[in-house]
Amino acid sequence: MSSKGTWIAGINAVSSALEHDIENVREVLIEAGGKNPRLTEIEETARRREISVRRIALQALDGVAGGLRHQGVIARYEAPKQVEESALPGLIEEAGGKALILVLDGIQDPHNLGACLRSAAAAAVTAVIIPKDKAAPINATVRKTSAGAADRIPVISVTNLARTLRAIKDAGVWVYGLDGEATAGIHGIDFTGNVALVLGGEGEGMRRLTREHCDQLVKIPMPGEMESLNVSVATGISLFEVVRQRLGATK
């Protein structure tokens, strides 16, 4: 059994990979005797696309999955190479004045990161920027939670986030940081041009240096008694405020 690539686990994750990223799926392992009809659907889809499928004992499947919750199926996936930071200026230029960049400063929970990437794909972001250190990597859990979005949008890992923020500002992008203490609300900001939205990680939010490199801090108005939102929820709300404005501007 080849160890090249990464293992993604679970019915939804493998189904999504077969639907959206089948060219990167190398083989599928299914629990021998598994009765879930969706396992049969996965097997039929993979065989139809000439992907290697094997039925193996549950104990063996558990061993390959390495603790991942697999629901009777895993797939070996060779992810596309991540986009290099040097590609950012070209991506911004190609967006034609409508670049939408999501910057995630230190999200630690892979489920949160995956959910953010799923929203980013739905909002057709130009790129997602994440730091290489002190943040969740793009792993099997992220891919599963993102429903394939992690490999359908440009995700760029950078070594120096502050430097990258300076670079995208130099490329004509206005950088907005989400901060609950800000005075301006997102609904009063014009997001129709080149925009980057910066959201901090769980707990502490944006780091000081990241905050200092934002052109403006904005907040999501919350009339209720909660002090903050989950970062993936805040990401979705913020991105789709941009989408709402841009769709309205084209009518």
Taking the C-alpha atoms of residue 135 and residue 143, their distance in angstroms, rounded to an integer, is 15
217 marked as binding residue: no
Query: Strand pairing partners for 128?
Result: 102, 155
CA 15, 18, 24, 29 torsion: positive or negative?
positive
200 is in an annotated binding site: yes
201 is in an annotated binding site: no
Angle at 246 between CA 240 and CA 250, to 5 degrees: 145
Q: Where does residue 20 rank: exposed (0-12), middle (13-18), buried (19+ CB within 10 A)? A: middle
Helices (H), the chain: 11-20, 37-48, 58-65, 88-94, 110-122, 140-146, 161-170, 208-212, 231-249
Binding residues, as ranges, are: 200, 220, 229
Binding residues for S-adenosyl-L-methionine, as ranges, are: 200, 220, 229
